[in-house]
Structures are given as structure tokens and as C-alpha cells.
């Protein structure tokens, strides 16, 4: 039996045995029968809007359980305002119970780069992608855009295109990504790293010219804030949670347009003043995303649930 299913069967018994006053489920779904009120965290609705990027078994699991969970939940929290609006649009019957409790800048990145001065990248600084190698990350389009950039700069004889480094574990349905990589790896311009621990990731971030993160759909966007903490310019999608997290501190592009991604990379190569400005804005942007605020908002949701049940005044 899958662990997620076994957990759903086990949790009601556990909640009852310990006299739980509230169950907060952090995995989209909660048991449909509980002895206490429930709060559910929704990270994103990728399974609904981009079903082709989610494996079939997981998609079916979410399609059946998420709507039922949301209708029964006393409160629903999301990790961004974008996801909150998405949940309200997709499930209008629960809209009044949805509260965004946005996440914070990863504390490890704040500590790692606290004393790192902003600097212009060296001529050999590569573009960097961070994330699981899977369809939702839009990597095939990124790789095709990068290939076009190599051709365009080669023909025009302009500045050399930075190398491209991919950092991330192998994901689901990555055959198209791997197929595209086979050709590009032969150019010597593209390198693939597996999952890296924080120290190694910090090294790659510190050495990068820019982060490329034009994902199709995200619930938040930690790589954006990690790169900004490192003083690295960011190119990301112009919609949803990535645009929310990035604000005016990133170069925003249409993630469905290969040409828009090409033009964005070209600007990051040819406009050092833009890169410098984005690095400054990024350092200012990361302070907006606070874990203390996340905790305060989440606690307020708990209080509202308890108050509605008459547990507190």
C-alpha cells in the first residue's frame, strides 16, 4: 500500500488516540473522516492545470482526493497568494476558507551569502538552472532556446554565449529532456549535475552569471530567492507564483515562448547594467519573504479554526 494512502488510514486513529485538537495536513490531502478539525496546505494545482506534467497515478490520486479534502477542511492555506487565488478560482465553494501563508527565503541561503558582496560575473560565468529535471520545469524549451542562442551568436559573431549548468535530480518523464541533452552535451557548453547539497549548490550559485527558471507552474519558487541571496540575476516566468516571488527584481519572460526565453538570455549577456540592477533588486527582494511572517499567518489560521469551534475566545 502506498505510504500516502496508509497515512490517510492511520491519521484518524492517531488523532483520536492523542486527543488532537487540530490536524494540519501538509500534503494536499487529509483523511475524509477525522475526530478533529483540519487545516490543509495546498502548494499548487499543477495536477489540474498542467496534467501532462504530473504522472498518471499521482494525478488520479489528487483529482479524487483534493476536492473532497478541501470541501471538508476547516481552513485551507497556500504557500503563495497566487496559489490562493488559483484555489479560489478552481474551487469557488471553498474560497472563503483559503488563506495565503507565503513561505520565506531559505535560511541557509541568507546565512551563506550574508557577507557576500555583489559583483559582476566573470566572462566564464555560466547560466544556471536549479530544479528537478522534469516536464513542469520547462527544461526542453529552455534547452531549445539555449541552442538557438548558440546558433544566433555564432552567426552574428557577438560575445560568447555562457555555458549552461543544470543542477537537479532526475525526475519523472524526463525522456524528452534527456534526448535534447544528448546533443547539447556534445557541444561542451552544457553540464549536468545531480542533486547537490547546500554547500555545493552555494558554490554553483556564487559562480553563476544568472539563474534561468522559466518554470511552467510553481507554488512558490525557492531557487529564485536562493539566487537573489547570492547576488545572481534571475530570469523567470512572468506569471503565477514565480512572478509573485520575483516581483520587479527579475527579468520576467513568457515561459511558453522559446523566443522570449532566447531574448531574455541575450539581454543578460549583452546588458551588464541590467544584470547589476537585478542583483541589487534581488538583495532587496529577499527580505520581503520572512518565515516569521509565515508562522504568524499560520498561527492566525489555527486561532480562527479554534475560535469557530468555541475552543478560544
> Is the pLDDT reported for residue 273 higher than 90?
yes
pLDDT of residue 288: 96
Same domain for 222 and 199: yes
CB atoms inside a 10 Å sphere around CB 33: 8
Residue 41 lies in a domain: yes
Residues 6+ apart with CB under 8 A from 3: none
Which of 13-17, 121-125, 158-162 is predicted with the least confidence, judged by mean pLDDT? 158-162
Alpha carbon of 258 to those of 182, 244, 269: distances in Å? 19, 22, 17
Q: What pTM does this model have?
A: 0.94
Q: What is the mean pLDDT of residues 53-65?
A: 91
Q: Is the model's pLDDT at 14 over the cut of 80? A: yes
Instruction: Note the pLDDT of residue 1.
Output: 38
Query: For residue 312, what pLDDT is reported?
Result: 73
Is residue 8 domain-resident?
no
Structural domain count, the chain: 2
In a domain, 212, yes or no: yes
The CATH number assigned to the domain holding 133 equals 3.40.50.2000
Report the percentage of the chain scoring pLDDT > 70. Answer: 97
Residue 5 lies in a domain: no
Average pLDDT over residues 63-92: 97
Task: Tell me, yes or no, whether 4 lies in a domain.
Answer: no
Residue 186, Ramachandran bin (φ over 0: left; ψ between -120 and 50: alpha; else beta): alpha
For residue 10, being part of any structural domain is answered with no
The boundaries of the domain holding residue 302 are: 15-104+291-308
Within this chain, do residues 27 and 138 fall inside the same structural domain, yes or no?
no
How confident is residue 265, by pLDDT bands cut at 50, 70 and 90?
Answer: very high
Residues 141 and 273 occupy one common structural domain: yes
pLDDT at 47 over 80: yes
Q: What is the rounded average pLDDT for all residues in the chain?
A: 93
Indicate if 157 and 231 belong to the same structural domain. Answer: yes
| 195, part of any domain | yes
Same domain, 74 and 204: no
Amino acid 157: pLDDT = 55
Give the residue-averaged pLDDT of 210-230.
97
Alpha helices in 52-136 (DSSP H): 56-72, 81-90, 107-112
Q: Same structural domain for residues 149 and 224?
A: yes
Amino acid at each position: 500500500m502506498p505510504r500516502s494512502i496508509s497515512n490517510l488510514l492511520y491519521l484518524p486513529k492517531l488523532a483520536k488516540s492523542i486527543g488532537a485538537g487540530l490536524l494540519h495536513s501538509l500534503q494536499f490531502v487529509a483523511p475524509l473522516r477525522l475526530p478533529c478539525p483540519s487545516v490543509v496546505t495546498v502548494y499548487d494545482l499543477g495536477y489540474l492545470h498542467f496534467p501532462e506534467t504530473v504522472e498518471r497515478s499521482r494525478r488520479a490520486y489528487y483529482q479524487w482526493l483534493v476536492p473532497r479534502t478541501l470541501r471538508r477542511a476547516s481552513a485551507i492555506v497556500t504557500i503563495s497568494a497566487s496559489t490562493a487565488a488559483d484555489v479560489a478560482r478552481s474551487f469557488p465553494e471553498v474560497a472563503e476558507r483559503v488563506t495565503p501563508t507565503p513561505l520565506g527565503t531559505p535560511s541557509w541561503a541568507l546565512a551563506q551569502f550574508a557577507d557576500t558582496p555583489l559583483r559582476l560575473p566573470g566572462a566564464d560565468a555560466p547560466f544556471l538552472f536549479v530544479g528537478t529535471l522534469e516536464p513542469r520545469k520547462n527544461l526542453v524549451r529552455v534547452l531549445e532556446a539555449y541552442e538557438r542562442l548558440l546558433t544566433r551568436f555564432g552567426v552574428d559573431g557577438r560575445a560568447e554565449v555562457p555555458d549552461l549548468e543544470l543542477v537537479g535530480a532526475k525526475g519523472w518523464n524526463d525522456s524528452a529532456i534527456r534526448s535534447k541533452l544528448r546533443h547539447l552535451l556534445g557541444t561542451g557548453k552544457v553540464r549536468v549535475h545531480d542533486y547537490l547539497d547546500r554547500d555545493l549548490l552555494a558554490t554553483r550559485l556564487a559562480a553563476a552569471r544568472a539563474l534561468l527558471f522559466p518554470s511552467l507552474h510553481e507554488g512558490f519558487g525557492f531557487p529564485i530567492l536562493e539566487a537573489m541571496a547570492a547576488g545572481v540575476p534571475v530570469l523567470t516566468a512572468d506569471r503565477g507564483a514565480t512572478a509573485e516571488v520575483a516581483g520587479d527584481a527579475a527579468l520576467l519572460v513568457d515561459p511558453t515562448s522559446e523566443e522570449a526565453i532566447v531574448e531574455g538570455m541575450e539581454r543578460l549577456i549583452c546588458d551588464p547594467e541590467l544584470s547589476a540592477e537585478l542583483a541589487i533588486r534581488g538583495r532587496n527582494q529577499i527580505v520581503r519573504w520572512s518565515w516569521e511572517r509565515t508562522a504568524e499567518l499560520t498561527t492566525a489560521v489555527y486561532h480562527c479554526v479554534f475560535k469557530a469551534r468555541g475552543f478560544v475566545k
